[in-house]
């Protein structure tokens, strides 16, 4: 494997072969070589592999932002809002309505990000 190449999976090969088949309008010898792993250095296979790797790589910036939102959420619950069984129904003690809306939107973002991770 060349220095710039990344490891590929069969799914990367199959996707590149399907692209070439669609482009050519028929199944070619080249697409067979792609599927068989004989052309793993080809730019199309490498592009699919790099996309797969980028899409599945953890995002440290997102993780840091999520941790900051969770810390802010905990601070607001502890210091600014009176205890309530349902935090989304709490009345603000020191928060303006606009800040409360931002906080509720941040809580929704936290929940959505956590559900994506599981």
- Residue range 2-16, pLDDT digits in tens: 567 899 999 999 999
- Give the residue among 48, 22, 44, 23 at the shortest CA–CA distance from 33: 44
Rounded CA separation 11/53 (Å): 12
SS3 of 2-60: the string is: CCCCCCCCHHHHHHHHHHHHHHHCCCCHHHHHHHCCCCCCCHHHHHHHHHHHHHHCCCH
Rounded CA separation 93/29 (Å): 71
- Residue range 66-77, pLDDT digits in tens: 888 788 777 776
pTM above 0.75, yes or no: no
């Amino acid at each position: 494997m060349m220095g710039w190449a990344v490891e590929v999976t069969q799914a990367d090969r199959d996707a590149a072969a399907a692209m070439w088949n669609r482009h050519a309008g028929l199944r070619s010898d080249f697409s067979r070589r792609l599927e068989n792993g004989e052309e793993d250095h080809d730019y199309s296979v490498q592009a699919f592999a790099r996309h797969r790797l980028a899409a599945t790589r953890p995002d440290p910036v997102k993780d840091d932002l999520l941790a900051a939102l969770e810390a802010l959420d905990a601070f607001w619950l502890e210091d600014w809002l009176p205890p309530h069984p349902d935090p989304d129904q709490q009345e603000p003690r020191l928060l303006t309505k606009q800040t409360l809306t931002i906080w509720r939107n941040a809580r929704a973002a936290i929940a959505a990000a956590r559900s994506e991770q599981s």
